[in-house]
Amino acid sequence: MKFIDEANISVTAGKGGDGSASFRREKFIPFGGPNGGDGGRGGSVIALADRNINTLIDFRYKRQFRARNGENGRGSDCYGKGADDIILRMPVGTVITDAENGQVLADLTQDGQQTVIAQGGKGGLGNLHFKSSTNRAPRQFTLGEPGEEHELLLELKVLADVGLLGMPNAGKSTFIRSVSAARPKVADYPFTTLAPNLGVVRVDINKSFVIADIPGLIEGASEGAGLGHRFLRHLSRTRLLLHLVDIAPFDDTIDPVQEARSIVEELRKYDETLYQKPRWLILNKTDRLDAAGRDTIIRTFTDELDWHGEVYAISALTGEGCQKLTFAIMQYLDATRDAHIQETATQTASTPDIPEPGTNEYADEP
């Protein structure tokens, strides 16, 4: 299935049914009084997070979703039927934004989470509501309210604890194959990864974390070079970034220090918040270095890069150093989990309550 992480859709909620102006007419009852019923509620459009869906491809080719209108009220105290709601199932991690003003309407971060993205209109009142001691034969009624209409932007941001960052052919896909059961494509040419890949790294029987591999960046990505910044959004939810560097490139003209600096600069240009995330330096392909001079090469590299954070030397191909790295990542995630939970709870508490949707669902208006 083709990976689609962005889509534009149009949603229209149903109009509420009109109220009725009717009077009771029966034999031997000349003054029966008003009996016009209310109109039914228009159908709403609801977004539902579903963990069984992992792409927005369903919204790439079908972009208009319209709920039904509510039925009009009728005589004999008959109220119009409310229309069914439309439920749009989306991947967990989808951010729904109003395309007109840029306001974020919902962030679906949990399976089963749902939100109303277009509220159906209320039904109008029948003349039954307007009777009084001074107005015994009211002919007033109200029309149903129109439903909401929105042009929406859907963006999928994968949910992962750790994100991989680096140049093409830095060994990101090989690393995720080495530490998890994920099997992304690996080849000896750049841009073999064209879509994000997720892998679950199991450190212990009850301890695991999710790692995300995205297509590589190159210098000038902010101007659209390579695949640009398109996939960097998938690292925004991660708690830790691993910057993989090919410490032993095949081409002697390639400067690993300059490549590492280019990636950091592209990260800064894209998003300052993402740039400020905790980031570890992972020096890959150490199996191609001479064992005797390996420590000297690594020390020289970090000195030239002026790096003062965490540094790990690994070989994703042979697995050397990978277990030590995964244990260190798990330890870091455990140590920062309480702060992460507290931050998530604060964000959830600030989200407004979502009204309860209707009971039925269908994919589209017949």
Q: What is the pLDDT of residue 41?
A: 93
Of 351, 6, 54, the residue nearest 153 (C-alpha): 6
93 & 179 share domain? no
* Strand, helix or coil for residue 221: helix
pLDDT at 347: 52
**pLDDT value at 354 more than 50:** no
- 46 sits in the region (left: phi over 0; alpha: psi -120 to 50; else beta) called beta
Given a cut of 50, is residue 8 above it in pLDDT? Answer: yes
Q: At what angle do helices 256-270 and 294-305 cross, to 10 degrees?
A: 40
Q: Residue 243 sits in a domain of what CATH number?
A: 3.40.50.300
Q: How many CA atoms lie within 13 A of 308 on its CB side?
A: 1
Answer whether residue 356 is part of any domain: no
**Spatial distance between the Cα atoms of 206 and 185, rounded to a whole number of angstroms:** 29
Helix %, strand %, coil % of the chain (to 5) = 25, 25, 50
Residue 358, phi then psi, degrees to nearest 5: -70, 180
**Domain assignment of residue 109, yes or no:** yes
Same domain, 89 and 50: yes
- Average pLDDT, integer, range 106-113: 89
What's residue 343's pLDDT? 60
Instruction: Write the pLDDT tens digit of every residue in 256-279.
Output: 888 888 888 888 887 788 888 888
Q: Give yes or no for residue 93 having a pLDDT over 90.
A: no
Asked whether residue 116 falls in the same domain as residue 218, the answer is: no
Last residue of one domain, picked from the residues 138, 156, 174: 156
Q: What is the pLDDT of residue 184?
A: 65
pLDDT above 90 covers what percent of the chain?
A: 22
pLDDT at 229: 58
pLDDT digits (tens, 9 = 90+) for 130-153: 888 888 888 889 999 999 999 999
If one compares 352 and 320, the residue with the highest pLDDT of the two is: 320
Kindly tell me if the per-residue pLDDT of 198 is higher than 80: no
- Separation between Cα atoms, residue 5 and residue 50, nearest integer Å: 15
Query: What confidence score (pLDDT) does residue 203 get?
Result: 85
Domain boundary among 106, 121, 156: 156
Determine, yes or no, domain membership for 292.
yes
Q: Are residues 69 and 142 in the same domain?
A: yes
Of the pLDDT bands very low, low, confident and very high (cuts 50, 70, 90), residue 352 is very low
* Alpha-carbon span 172 to 180, nearest angstrom: 12
Q: Which of 131, 156, 181 is the last residue of a domain?
A: 156
Task: Please tell me the predicted confidence (pLDDT) of residue 123.
Answer: 92
Same domain flag for 183 and 127: no
> Residue 362 falls within a domain, yes or no?
no
Q: Does residue 268 lie in a domain region?
A: yes
pLDDT at 339 (0 to 100) = 66
Q: Under a CB-based contact definition with an 8 Å cutoff, are residues 86 and 148 in contact?
A: no
Stronger pLDDT, 327 or 6, i.e. the higher one: 327
Q: Structural domain of residue 283, as residue ranges?
A: 162-347
Q: Are residues 143 and 224 in the same domain?
A: no
In terms of domains, do 177 and 191 share one?
A: yes
Q: What angle do CA 307, 310, 312 make, to 5 degrees?
A: 105
Residues 150-169: tens digit of each pLDDT:
999 998 887 788 888 888 77
363 within some domain: no
How far is residue 194's CA from residue 215's CA, in Å, rounded to a whole number? 6
Domain count, the chain: 2
Q: What is the pLDDT of residues 39-73, one digit of tens each?
A: 999 999 999 999 888 788 888 888 999 999 999 99
Residue ranges of alpha helices (H) inside 11-169 are none
Half-sphere exposure of 246 (CA within 13 A, CB side): 20
Task: Read off the pLDDT of residues 199-238 as tens digits, 9 standing for 90 and up.
Answer: 888 888 788 888 888 776 655 555 555 445 566 777 778 8
Could you read off the pLDDT of 282-315 as tens digits, one per residue? 898 888 888 778 888 888 888 888 888 888 998 8
Q: Answer yes or no: is 102 within a domain.
A: yes
Q: Specify the 3-state DSSP secondary structure of 260.
A: helix
213 in the same domain as 151: no
Residue 342 belongs to a domain: yes
CATH number, domain of 65, equals 2.70.210.12
In the predicted model, is pLDDT for residue 360 greater than 80? no
Query: Residues 233-255: pLDDT tens digits?
Result: 777 788 888 988 888 887 777 88
Q: Are 114 and 189 in a shared domain?
A: no
pLDDT on residue 363? 39
Are 82 and 25 in a shared domain?
Answer: yes
Considering the chain, what is the average pLDDT of its residues? 81
Least confident of 42-46, 82-86, 186-190: 186-190
Judgement on whether residues 278 and 341 belong to the same structural domain of the protein: yes
Q: What percent of the chain has pLDDT over 70?
A: 83
Asked if 200 and 105 sit in the same domain, the reply is: no
Instruction: Classify the C-alpha dihedral 130-131-133-139 as positive or negative.
Output: positive
